[in-house]
């Protein structure tokens, strides 16, 4: 190997390594995959997961237990009816949560928010809330003024 080829080879290796350390599995796109539940095999390094446009009805405690680095989660355009209180117990870094366009009905029953202490953006627009009463679980978020996009829209039906 000439010095030049060696240098190029080393540079290519380095770029390859950098590429693989900043990218692999950190963004997971599972949008429009006809999913009816959160897959069990989410990669541990996932920081951003797009589950939009599926048929997921429930989020369970443990659904995200293998993705402790999760920061962004999009579950919009599903058929969510309920979200377990424990769902985000293992994802303390979560800061952006899109739950818009679902079938959530009870705005005062969003207890999972008790475990999302770093949440900055919460989108609950276009659900099926029957009343607009905020539960006490919202108070910690509202008090800190942390909610950027807090935009529920009343849906009839
Ligand atoms: C989507 O999943 C359902 C079962 O969950 C299945 O019956 C249906 O055929 C699937 N549709 C497509 C387009 O894969
Ligand atoms: C979530 O996914 C939907 C549908 O793919 C998209 O329209 C929306 O912009 C996404 N939300 C965010 C916050 O990126
Ligand atoms: C809504 O959630 C609150 C708080 O969890 C609960 O007390 C209430 O019974 C729920 N209402 C309905 C209609 O499910």
pLDDT single digits (tens) 24-72: 679 999 999 999 999 999 999 999 999 999 999 999 999 999 999 999 9
In this structure, whether the domain defined by 28-144 belongs to CATH 1.10.3720.10 is answered with: no
Q: What is the pTM of this model?
A: 0.77
Q: What is the mean pLDDT of residues 4-20?
A: 48
> What is the widest separation between alpha-carbon atoms in the chain?
73
Q: Is residue 14's pLDDT more than 80?
A: no
CA atoms within 13 A on the CB side of 29: 2
Q: Verify whether ligand 1 is closer than 6 Å to residue 36 (CB atom).
A: yes
Q: Verify whether ligand 2 is closer than 6 Å to residue 100 (CB atom).
A: no
Of 45-54, 100-109, 112-121, 136-145, give the lowest mean pLDDT range: 136-145
Q: Verify whether ligand 3 is closer than 6 Å to residue 106 (CB atom).
A: yes
| Ligand number with the minimum distance to the CA of 57 | 1
Residues in CB range of 110: below 8 A, 6 or more apart: 83, 104, 124, 135, 137, 138
Domain coordinates in residue numbering, the chain: 28-144
Q: Verify whether ligand 3 is closer than 6 Å to residue 137 (CB atom).
A: no
- CB-CB neighbours of 62 under 10 Å: 14
């Amino acid at each position: 190997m000439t010095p030049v080829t060696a240098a190029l080879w080393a540079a290519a290796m380095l770029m390859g390594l950098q590429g693989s350390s900043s990218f692999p599995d950190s963004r997971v796109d599972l949008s429009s995959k006809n999913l009816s539940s959160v897959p069990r095999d989410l990669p541990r390094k996932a920081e951003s997961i797009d589950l939009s446009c599926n048929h997921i009805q429930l989020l369970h405690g443990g659904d995200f237990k293998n993705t402790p680095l999760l920061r962004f989660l999009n579950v919009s355009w599903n058929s969510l009816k309920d979200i377990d209180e424990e769902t985000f117990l293992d994802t303390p870094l979560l800061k952006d949560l899109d739950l818009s366009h679902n079938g959530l009905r009870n705005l005062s029953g969003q207890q999972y928010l008790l475990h999302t202490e770093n949440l900055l953006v919460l989108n609950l627009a276009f659900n099926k809330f029957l009343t607009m009463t905020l539960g006490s679980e919202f108070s910690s978020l509202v008090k800190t003024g942390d909610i950027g996009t807090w935009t529920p829209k009343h849906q009839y039906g």
